[in-house]
Chains A and B, each alone.
Chain A
Amino acid sequence: MIRIAAVGDVHVDKDVVGRYRPALEQLPDRADALLIAGDLTRHGTPDEAKCFATEFGGLAVPVVVVLGNHDHQSDQQQQVTEVLTDAGITVLECSSTVLEINGHRLGIAGAKGFGGGFAGACASNFGEREMKDFVGTTEDIADRLGESLRSVRCDALVALTHYAPVPETLAGEPLEIYPFLGCYQLGNAIDSAPTALALHGHAHHGSERGRTPGGVPVRNVAHPVIKQAYNVYQLLSETVDSQLVPA
């Protein structure tokens, strides 16, 4: 059995430091790893990354993250990544990692992802250079996420993105902005590998649960959606116990 804690869109800056920590101190009693689905910071500055590392680093479990669009706002995503890596946090971008947990290999492949929309209402790689660049970025990230997912050898495989891979978990957001919240190409990438669970954020007004066309469970773990410090998901179950902490 593996238990994964997950949250996204925590948007940490100096005002937020300390809010999550009481719940995070309890995390090792509840889960074996923490995955964070992007928008770690508000503006993507190294100083905010230090705030994030203070809040989410130094836990007794591995922490694996992807960046979100907010973490790109200051064009300092490389420095942000370095701050996080120096704090012992694993940052994935079209890459993967394997964690040894309870005798099992948990594989995690992650990417920020990008927009583009979903089947029947998506952008095409056609027309103006700006449009081709937009959709080309979508396609490139999804292709590389798929390669990362297919390269992992593990007992349970998790896909971690910021942008959404399916429209179901966007329900509650205005339809007009779906193309800025995710793309179907991410869902195809997730379906190209034996993925057990896909986690994403970005859609603050979205819904929690969906599935890819191939049947992979998708969970939107954006903090305003889950309304607690993190959710916990159980994989490779031998027995089912919905209570995290004995009464």
Chain B
Amino acid sequence: MTVQFDLEAEIQRLLTEHDRIAEQGITVHRRENVVVLGGEVESAERRDEICRQITGRFPEIEITCDIGITRAQAPSEVEEIS
């Protein structure tokens, strides 16, 4: 249990503190022997870099990447504030 918690914490810190990533919005969940990454980032390059860095740091861990790219289309509605 301790090992599982430490792994998730270390991945979270890697994602935040690594100078090529700096992402704080990625979720990390362990399923059996697979680590599932979730959340959204601003570019495919950033998503790929996240997976590359985790695989490089923890080569024995199988990674499943569910990270999406946040949509950036113009809105079609307005909200009235009252």
A residues lining the B interface (CB < 8 Å): 3, 9-12, 15-16, 19-20, 22-23, 26-27, 30, 42-43, 70, 73, 196-197, 204-205, 217, 223-224, 227-235, 237, 240-245
Closest to A70 in B: B22
Chain B residues near A70 (CB-CB < 8 A): 22
Interface residues of A: mostly helix, strand, loop or mixed?
Answer: loop
Looking at A12, A16, A204, the one whose CB has the most chain B CB atoms below 10 A away is A204
Asked whether, in the complex, the Cβ of B77 is within 8 Å of the Cβ of A244, the reply is: yes
Bound-state CA distance A153–B22 (Å) is: 39
Which of B22, B42, B71, B74 is packed against the most chain A CB atoms within 10 Å? B74
Prevailing SS type, chain B contact patch: loop
Tell yes or no: B78 within 8 A of A by CB.
yes
The chain B residues found within 8 Å of chain A, CB to CB, are 19, 22, 24-25, 27, 39-43, 45-46, 70-82
Q: Are B24 and A232 in contact (CB under 8 A)?
A: no
Q: A70-B22, A196-B81 are in contact. Are A27 and B74 (CB under 8 A)?
A: yes
A224 engages B39 (CB within 8 Å): yes
Contact partner, B42, options A3, A11, A73, A227, Cβ 8 Å: A11
- Chain A: minimal CB distance from B23 (Å): 8
How far, in Å, is B45 (CB) from chain A's closest CB? 4
A228 — which chain B residues lie within 8 A by C-beta?
Answer: 71-75
